[in-house]
Amino acid sequence: MDDTPAFRPRALDAILADAAARGFRLSCEERTGSLLAVLAASKPGGLFLELGTGVGAGTAWLLPGMSPDARLLSVDNDPAVLAVAARHLGRDGRVSFTVADAGEWLDSYRGPRFALAYADCFPGKFHRAGDLLRLLEPGGLYLADDLLPQATWPQEHQQRVDAFLAQLPGHPGLLAAPMAWASGLLLGSRTRFAAGEPRQPTEAARPPGGR
């Protein structure tokens, strides 16, 4: 079985060339990207969130899956990498790039719930995953990658990943499938709300921050 993606975002090669030129090695791998596109296509009109934009490889995969009325907020705390993503993808009116620490962004977000969250930096993944899961609509999808061991990991990182993989599948309100595929994924779906948790968004979306 050849699991090489059968399609490829138009902007991807130029994004990866810029990534290589600046020594950025954290872009998602292509099988993960193809899954992101498929998941995006399963939520027509959905509101999507990416925590950790990088240079925009994951964003480039999400966009072709999104319907014309879908929207994506993508957050990174490094304005230099975000500028690369914005240069390649910013003309697409469905995506907004925000420079922010993802933890602070989780504290301040008051908008509608998300149909899909791609957690690709520490906040929302190795810590504060519960705060991100609370922002998903019922049936909303959660994807985390980079869970299979990599030679470049610092020694303590395996413990962090082990704790994540031990906790997330049993997290209240999430049905999750760990997948030893691509870079190692965990795909989950929001199943139910905790007692007392509001089921409807209480505030309209704020305009996302600057590019």
Q: Residue 154: phi, psi to the nearest 5? A: -65, 160
Q: Does 14 bind ligand SAM (CB under 6 A)?
A: no
Q: Which of 9, 27, 40, 113 binds ligand SAM (CB under 6 A)?
A: 27
Q: Does 63 bind ligand SAM (CB under 6 A)?
A: no
Q: How far is the CB of 136 from ligand SAM (least distance, A)?
A: 18
| Nearest alpha-carbon partner for 60 in 26, 25, 93, 95 | 95
- For ligand SAM, the binding residues in 83-142 under the rule CB under 6 A are 101-103, 120-123
Q: Which stretch binds ligand SAM (CB under 6 A): 50-58, 153-161, 174-182, 183-191?
A: 50-58
Q: How far is the CB of 140 from ligand SAM (least distance, A)?
A: 18
Q: Does 182 bind ligand SAM (CB under 6 A)?
A: no
| Nearest alpha-carbon partner for 12 in 22, 29, 23 | 29
Q: Does 34 bind ligand SAM (CB under 6 A)?
A: no
Cβ(33)–Cβ(5) below 8 Å:
yes
The Cα–Cα gap between 164 and 171 comes to: 10
Q: Does 30 bind ligand SAM (CB under 6 A)?
A: no
Q: Which of 28, 35, 73, 86 binds ligand SAM (CB under 6 A)?
A: 28
The Cα–Cα gap between 50 and 100 comes to: 12
Q: Which helix (H) or strand (E) holds 15?
A: helix 12-21
Q: Does 65 bind ligand SAM (CB under 6 A)?
A: no
Q: How far is the CB of 196 from ligand SAM (least distance, A)?
A: 29
Strand-strand pairing, 47-51 and 71-76 = parallel
| Nearest alpha-carbon partner for 63 in 75, 76, 73 | 73
Comparing CB distances to ligand SAM, the nearer of 79 and 139 is 79
Strand-strand pairing, 95-99 and 71-76 = parallel
Cβ(91)–Cβ(67) below 8 Å:
no
Q: Which stretch binds ligand SAM (CB under 6 A): 74-82, 131-139, 182-190, 203-211?
A: 74-82
Comparing CB distances to ligand SAM, the nearer of 34 and 53 is 53
Q: How far is the CB of 57 from ligand SAM (least distance, A)?
A: 3
How many Cα atoms occupy the beta-carbon half-sphere of 83 within 13 Å? 4
* DSSP at 127: B
Q: Which residues bind ligand SAM (CB under 6 A)?
A: 26-28, 50, 52-54, 57-58, 75-78, 81, 101-103, 120-123
